[in-house]
Amino acid sequence: MSQPAAPQTAAPTTAGLGFSHRQILVTMSGLVIAMLLAQLDNMIVAPALPTIVGDLGGLAHLAWVTTAYILATTIATPIWGKLGDLYGRRITFVSAVGLFLIGSALCGMAQNMGELVAFRAVQGLGAGGLIVGVLSIIGEMIPPRDRSKYQGIMMAVMPVALIGGPLIGGFITDHVSWRWAFYVNLPLGAIALVVAWITLAKLPRGTGHARIDWLGTGLLAIWITSLVLITTWGGSQYDWTSPQILGLIALTIAGLAAFIVVERRQAEPIMPLRVFKNRNFVLAGGIAFISGFALFGAIGYLPQYQQFVQGASATNSGLLLMPMMIAIMVVSLTIGQVIGRTGRYRIFPIVGAVLVAAGMLLFTTVGTGTSQVTTALFMVVLGAGMGGIMQTSTLIAQNSLEPRDMGAGTGASTFLRNMGSSLGVSILGALYAHHLTDTLAQTGASGEVASMTPAALRALPEAARHLFQQAVTDGITSLFLWGSAVAALGIVIALFVQHVPLRGSKPATEARESLAATAPVEVAV
């Protein structure tokens, strides 16, 4: 039901916890390593998967090596955020790093695919705490106006991981062993562990007598798992109208409804619904969801076009994504500096959403003869847009939170971005596969589409090769057309964001007067 929401509020204007610039930089060194580990791990494993299947067997479980990690990360993110609010950032962050390293070591020692899938879930549980822990620690250490500069560095870690992951993973697999794709986390994680333990001692330690919302945690896991399984299995392993998918849909709806009821009644909910009464927080969450949907939808399927149509190798297709990643880094870092100097941020998610939609639309114009230079320019536009909305969505969300909700609220925002990423990959992937197979079926082409590789394509006669390349191109343009529609929704959402002064950007009296003038809103909870 709808109920009046409290006026937009910000946390008290006290500036951080007294960390000097030097202390922040030292702490950031450990946080950067931790964020890099969490983002890098999924990408570094991808090139090793064919070798892993050949070594361990269990081709039927291959998809779950990735799905188990993403699912566990998504479920764990809001839980770790709330634990940080209750017990303190330092102990929960160090615990998350430790769990991630235990999962990494177990993955490297796995003797069959079942063990690997289970250990990847353990690793994912820790990874959820790394991401939300880093963002929450920055949110607690640094006032919002200065925070944008440091968050820009964190947002730049993602494209580094996306570029470097496949290259490092391929090199390790070719020259050492696929097991070192997991073992490589151990020395880096140990450094992050030591640095975090030493440098985070000034952070508050929590109440020490917190109660965990175990019922809410269980319900959260149920409906998220059901939703991810729907998007993973629907239209591929099971028909959309099959009893399995319909049952999962019913379970998702029932689980979400029960979760909302429980969270409204809990004294210390795992995801406090009060944060969703703040309009800017809800809008920032919507922008985060769309940024994840667009970015990972694009990254997940552009290599298909680059390899099958433009003739790039697997390694080179990763390098061809570099224009987009560099654009994300440059824009994200530049915006962080501008916000730090001016305290103004509202224009950036609007322009960013426009550029994301424009970049998506540009990719709907590609054909079988489009050059790599042209697609690189399209990627620069898309990357510039992503750089404009990724860190600003987190900044807006955190600026809308009370200190007591910093971890849980950051976890909720990160959770929405993760859900967007997961749904972007699965939904856009389903659209791509459906369009590809339909196009080939209409032309009377035969052969197993799922088993086609770039090497096998090169061995086909020219006419058959061109037919497949055209089908891939049609699938990619269809994918980006739907993606641009979602990105257009991001423009609408961004237009409704209000400028609430960043804490530390105005005198306390002026900030309070500005906040008091913000009208209440109606939000369905």
Domain residue ranges of the chain, discontinuous segments joined by +: 2-213+266-524, 214-265
- State yes or no: pLDDT of 7 exceeds 50: no
> Which candidate, 156, 173, 192, 199, places its Cα nearest to that of 20?
199
pLDDT of res. 451 = 53
**516 confidence band (pLDDT: 50, 70, 90):** very low
Q: Summarize pLDDT for 293-319 with one digit per residue, the tens.
A: 877 767 667 877 887 888 877 667 667
Q: Summarize pLDDT for 345-362 with one digit per residue, the tens.
A: 889 999 999 999 999 999
Q: Which CATH code is given to the segment(s) 2-213+266-524?
A: 1.20.1250.20
Four-residue CA torsion sign, 160, 282, 289, 119: positive
CA 347/CA 18 separation, integer angstroms:
30
Tokens 């500096």: give the residue: 337
> Which candidate, 74, 436, 5, 124, places its Cα nearest to that of 228?
74
CA 66/CA 123 separation, integer angstroms:
11
pLDDT of res. 524 = 32
Q: When comparing pLDDT for 387 and 450, which is higher?
A: 387
Residue 268 · residue 210 · CB < 8 Å: yes
Tokens 């609010």: give the residue: 85
Residue 525 · residue 3 · CB < 8 Å: yes
- State yes or no: pLDDT of 99 exceeds 90: yes
Residue 213 · residue 270 · CB < 8 Å: yes
Residue 474 · residue 435 · CB < 8 Å: yes
Q: Which of 71-85, 193-207, 240-254, 499-513 has the highest mean pLDDT?
A: 240-254
Half-sphere exposure of 450 (CA within 13 A, CB side): 4
Q: How far apart are the first and last CA of the chain?
A: 6
Tokens 């993955």: give the residue: 107
Q: When comparing pLDDT for 410 and 471, which is higher?
A: 471
**209 confidence band (pLDDT: 50, 70, 90):** low
The mean pLDDT of 369-377, rounded to a whole number, is 91
pLDDT of res. 264 = 87
Q: Summarize pLDDT for 11-63 with one digit per residue, the tens.
A: 333 334 566 677 777 777 777 788 777 777 766 776 676 677 667 766 556 66
CA–chain centroid gap for 307, Å, is: 25
What is the torsion angle, in degrees rounded to the nearest 10, for the CA atoms of residue 194, residue 195, residue 196 and residue 198?
A: 80
pTM score: 0.70
pLDDT of res. 318 = 63
**291 confidence band (pLDDT: 50, 70, 90):** confident
Which residues are within 8 A (CB) of 381 and not within 5 positions of it... i.e. 6 or more apart? 327, 355, 358, 359, 362
The mean pLDDT of 416-436, rounded to a whole number, is 75
Q: Is 209 exposed, middle or buried (0-12, 13-18, 19+ CB in 10 A)?
A: exposed
Partners of 4 in beta bridges: 522
pLDDT of res. 449 = 54
pLDDT of res. 103 = 93
**409 confidence band (pLDDT: 50, 70, 90):** confident
What tokens appear for 223 in the block?
A: 């409906």
The mean pLDDT of 132-148, rounded to a whole number, is 73
> Which candidate, 415, 71, 89, 396, places its Cα nearest to that of 271?
415
The mean pLDDT of 61-75, rounded to a whole number, is 75
